[in-house]
Amino acid sequence: MNRPAPFGFPNGKAIRLLLPSLVLALAFPAWASLGDNVTTVQNDKARMKGTLRSVAAQSYVTHEIQVPSGQKVREFVSTEGTVFGVAWEGPFQPDLQQLLGSYFEPVKQAVAQQHRGHGPISVETSGFVFQQGGHARSFHGRAYVPSMVPQGVDVTEIQ
């Protein structure tokens, strides 16, 4: 009898099936980054199973999360604890829904409206900047909220 195992049967396949949905469910309430509070950095690190490195500049801190696949994500946090920018690079795209948080849908809409080209994306609205470049196997990009960027910080540092 080679039928599919019933629910809860303890073989590897069933466990693998269950785990991702479990992780998603737990992580979902914490999904948010750009524009949010610094506590989300720890959530992101946990969810991405990555290593965290933090570097302090004059008026902000950079948290860099690197995952084993080579993906790097950087979150730029002001002294008030606000994530004012995110940047990423690596062979895949990061979870942009998580990184962009409440900006994900507005970014999608802005790209749909403004990105007429076929190629790297560079979209600016009054609320945010979203840029995405590279090609298959090597992507890079960034997003930031100009109104949240600390005074005196050059936006070219968000990368």
Partner 1 sequence: MAGLMFRPWCHRVLMSLRSNKGAGVRILGTLAGVCCLALLAACSSGSGSSTSTITLVGASCNPTSITSQQTSQCTASVSGTGSFSSTVFWTASGGGTIAAATGLFTADTVPFSTQVTITATSATDATKSGSTTITVAAAGTVTGVTVTCSPTSVQTGQLSTCSAVVNGTGAFSPGVTWSASGGTINPISGLFSGSSAGTYTITATSQQDSTKSGSATVTVVPAVSNALPVTVDGGPPAYQALGNVYTNGAFVSVTVCTPGTSTCQTIDHVLVDTGSVGLRLLAKGAAGGELDPTAFPQQIDTNGNAISECSLFVDGFAWGSVSLATIQMAGEVASTVPTATVAGVPIQIVGDPRVPAVPASCSSQSVVDKGSLATLGAYGVLGLGTFQQDCGPGCVSTTSPPAEYYVCPGGACAPTGVGLAQQVTHPVWVLPQDNNGVLLQLPLVPSGGTTTVNGSLIIGIGTQANNALGSATVFNTDANAFFVTNYNGQTNSCSYIDSGSNAYFFPSAGNPLLVTCSPTGNAKGFYCPASLLALTATNQSAPNTNGSTGTVAFNVGNASTLFTNNNGNNIAFSELAAPNAPVNGCNSFDWGLSFFYGKSVFTAIEQQPVSGTNFVGPFWAYF
Q: How far is the CB of 77 from partner 1 (least distance, A)?
A: 18
DSSP string over 86-100: EEEEESS---HHHHH
Q: Is 66 in the site for partner 1 (CB under 8 A)?
A: no
Q: Which residues of 25-50 are buried (b: 16+ CB within 10 A; e: fewer)?
A: eebeebbbbbbbebebbebbbebbeb
Residue among 52 and 62 whose Cβ is closer to partner 1: 62
**Token couple for 18:** 């269950």
Q: Is 27 in the site for partner 1 (CB under 8 A)?
A: no
Residue in 38, 52, 111, 148 binding partner 1, rule: CB under 8 A: 111
Q: Is 41 in the site for partner 1 (CB under 8 A)?
A: no
Q: Is 17 in the site for partner 1 (CB under 8 A)?
A: yes
Q: Is 146 in the site for partner 1 (CB under 8 A)?
A: no
Local structure of 126: helix, strand or coil: coil
Residue in 93, 145, 146, 150 binding partner 1, rule: CB under 8 A: 93
Distance (Å, rounded) from C-alpha 125 to C-alpha 3? Answer: 55
Q: How far is the CB of 67 from partner 1 (least distance, A)?
A: 8
